[in-house]
Amino acid sequence: MKKLLLIILCLPLIGFGQQTYVPDDNFEAYLEANGMGNGIINDDYVTTANINNVTGLNIANKSISDLTGIEDFSNLSYMDCSGNLLITLDLSQNDSIIYFNFSNNLFLECINLQNGNNCNIMDLDTNGNPSLICIAIDTYPYNGCPQFNSPPIAVFMNNCSNFSCGLPTSIEEHTTNKQLLKVTDLLGRETKGTKNEPLLFINDDGTVEKRMVIE
């Protein structure tokens, strides 16, 4: 009887399986509604086995601001996350993906595409992202591989560590040793500063800060 009881108690634990952390409620709600969750709404987790064989994901216009958990979509080859509220996007663990659409994310600042598979990318749409300042790719300069269709404000680099990606916009001055070289708008045009519009503050240590003076 004791052996039988032990087996029965262990069954729920065996069936539960590995879980993936998904903190964004809208992203989790979509996965739950489409058979990719764990059956528990708003617990910030989905069952990993339900997502790691998914090859296509259309999450356009879902008011998603955080795609944490996307790293466990290990077989993902197509993703449309356009029209959301993303600030940063990390696809460095998604080395099967070859079709992207993350256009029209108005607050998207930085994208990490360093997954070792950039030369196999067939379509990449980054249009309509006015805040985008850095895209980290496998090799820069990329010598025509991949053929990115990018807005002019995007900067292809080996990494985005010199940019304040995802940090709150600040109107405060901080005391540091770095010196300000120039201020530009998001199109790279030098300016003396415009209120209520995002600006790039370029410093002599190579860092770039995005700020907005609000009036």
Examine residue 4 and state whether it is found in any structural domain, yes or no: no
Mean pLDDT over the full length of the chain: 79
Share of the chain above pLDDT 70, in %: 71
Q: How many domains does the chain have?
A: 2
* pLDDT for res 6: 41
Domain that holds residue 214: 168-215
158-170: pLDDT as tens digits: 788 777 776 554 4
Q: Which residue among 161, 185, 202 closes a domain?
A: 161
Q: Which residue among 161, 184, 199 closes a domain?
A: 161
77 & 133 share domain: yes
Examine residue 204 and state whether it is found in any structural domain, yes or no: yes
Element (H, E) at 210: strand 208-212
CATH of the domain at 35: 3.80.10
145 & 176 share domain: no
Tokens, residue 139: 């090799």
Confirm if 52 and 70 have CB atoms less than 8 A apart: no
Examine residue 144 and state whether it is found in any structural domain, yes or no: yes
Strands 88-90 and 99-101 come out as unpaired
* Diameter over CA atoms, the chain: 81
157-209: pLDDT as tens digits: 778 877 777 655 443 334 456 677 778 776 677 877 666 677 777 777 767 76
pTM of the complete model:
0.70
104 & 192 share domain: no
78-120: pLDDT as tens digits: 999 999 999 999 999 999 999 999 999 988 999 999 998 888 8
